C-alpha cells in the first residue's frame, strides 16, 4: 500500500525558519512522510535527521529545479542529502526551455544522465509535470516527447494529477498511459480555466476542487506506487496544518472505499 506524505510548499517557506515545528504539525496531522528541498543547505545533516527522528516522519523525496540536475555538483549534493536521509525519490520540475521542442530534447539528455547518476546512488529520478508540458509541438504533446526521448529505466514520472487536468488531459487516462513509469504521485486539487493547456486559478484542499480525485487516485493505486503526496501550493484563508489535515482525511476516505 502506498505511503501518504505531503509537500511542504503549503507552509510557504516556514519550514526554513522552524523545521521542527512544521514537522511536528505534519506528524500530528497523520502523515507518514514529507517532500522537501535540500534541507542540508540550511543546517547540518545530523541536525535534520534528529528532527525527523523526533517526529517519526520519513523523507519521501527531494524536489529541485532543472538547474540542479544540469549542474553535476548540485545533483551530487541533493543526492547525498536524499540518500543520507534514507529517501529514494528525486524530483525535477522544469526543462531547459518549455517553449521549444529543442528545449525538451536538450532536457531529455540531461535527465537521462541525471537518472543514471541517481540510479547508481540508489535513488530514482522522477520528472514532475506542470501544465505547460501539455502544449503541442506538431501533433505531439511536450510531455509525450519528453517521455519518448528519455530512458524509462532511468527517468520515471512524478505525476501531478491536478496539473494533468489543467493541461487538458484526463488524469486517470494519463496515469494509465504511463503506468510503468510512475512510482510517486502528487495528489492535488483546484480550479482552472480550460485551454490547451489551461490556466490554474485556485488551489484547494483535496476534494474541494474540480479534479476527479477518486477516479485519478484509483488509477494511481493500480500502479502500486511508493508514495501518494498531498500538495497544495497555497492554503489561502486556512492555516496550512488545517488544510493538510482536511486533505488527508479526504484522501483516506478515498482509500477506504
Dist. CA 28–CA 30, nearest whole Å: 5
pLDDT at position 64 is 98
Residues 196-242 have pLDDT tens digits of 899 999 999 999 999 999 999 999 999 999 999 999 999 988 999 99
Question: Which CA distances in Å does 225 have to 6, 11, 13, 66, 160?
Answer: 15, 25, 27, 24, 13
173-193: average pLDDT: 98
pLDDT at position 27 is 98
Dist. CA 203–CA 232, nearest whole Å: 6
32-53: average pLDDT: 97
Rg over alpha carbons for the chain, rounded to the nearest Å, is 17
Angle at CA 54, nearest 5°, toward 52 and 60?
25
Our measurement of the distance from residue 32's CA atom to the centroid of its chain's CA atoms, rounded to an integer in Å, reads: 15
pLDDT at position 237 is 87
Task: Give the chain's mean pLDDT.
Answer: 97
- Answer whether 191's CB lies under 8 Å from 209's CB: yes
- Answer whether 7's CB lies under 8 Å from 247's CB: no
What share of the chain in percent tops pLDDT 70? 100
Question: Which CA distances in Å does 104 have to 115, 147, 223?
Answer: 16, 10, 26
* Residues paired with 155 in a beta bridge: 125
C-alpha neighbours within 13 Å on the C-beta side of residue 133: 23
Residues 129-162 have pLDDT tens digits of 999 999 999 999 999 999 999 999 999 999 999 9
Strands 136-137, 140-141: pairing is antiparallel
Domains and CATH numbers, the chain: 3-255 (3.20.20.150)
- Answer whether 89's CB lies under 8 Å from 64's CB: no
The SS3 of residue 83 is: helix
Give the closest residue to 171 by CA, choosing from 210, 208, 132: 210
* Confidence band, pLDDT 50/70/90 cuts, at residue 50: very high
6-25: average pLDDT: 96
- Phi-psi label, residue 12: left if phi above 0, alpha if psi -120 to 50, beta otherwise: left
pLDDT at position 1 is 87
Amino acid at each position: 500500500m502506498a505511503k501518504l506524505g505531503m509537500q511542504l510548499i503549503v507552509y510557504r517557506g516556514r519550514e526554513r525558519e522552524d523545521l521542527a515545528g512544521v514537522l511536528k504539525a505534519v506528524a500530528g496531522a497523520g502523515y507518514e512522510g514529507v517532500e522537501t528541498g535540500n534541507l542540508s543547505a540550511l543546517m547540518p545533516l545530523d541536525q535534520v535527521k534528529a528532527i525527523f527522528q523526533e517526529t517519526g516522519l520519513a523523507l519521501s523525496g527531494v524536489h529541485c529545479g532543472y538547474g540542479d540536475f544540469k549542474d553535476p555538483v548540485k545533483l551530487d549534493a541533493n543526492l547525498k542529502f536524499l540518500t543520507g536521509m534514507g529517501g529514494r525519490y528525486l524530483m525535477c520540475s522544469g526543462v531547459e526551455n518549455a517553449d521549444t521542442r529543442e528545449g525538451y530534447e536538450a532536457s531529455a539528455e540531461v535527465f537521462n544522465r541525471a537518472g543514471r547518476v541517481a540510479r547508481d546512488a540508489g535513488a530514482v529520478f522522477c520528472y514532475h509535470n506542470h501544465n505547460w508540458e501539455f502544449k503541442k509541438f506538431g501533433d505531439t504533446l511536450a510531455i509525450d516527447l519528453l517521455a519518448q526521448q528519455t530512458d524509462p529505466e532511468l527517468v520515471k514520472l512524478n505525476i501531478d494529477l491536478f496539473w494533468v487536468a489543467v493541461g487538458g488531459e484526463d488524469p486517470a487516462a494519463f496515469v494509465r498511459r504511463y503506468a510503468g513509469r510512475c512510482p510517486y504521485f502528487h495528489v492535488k486539487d483546484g480550479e482552472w480555466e480550460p485551454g490547451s493547456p489551461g490556466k490554474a486559478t485556485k488551489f484547494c484542499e483535496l476534494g474541494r476542487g474540480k479534479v476527479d480525485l477518486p477516479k485519478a487516485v484509483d488509477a494511481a493505486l493500480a500502479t502500486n506506487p511508493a508514495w501518494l503526496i498531498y500538495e497544495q501550493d497555497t492554503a489561502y484563508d486556512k492555516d496550512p496544518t488545517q488544510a493538510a489535515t482536511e486533505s488527508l482525511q479526504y484522501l483516506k476516505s478515498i482509500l477506504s472505499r
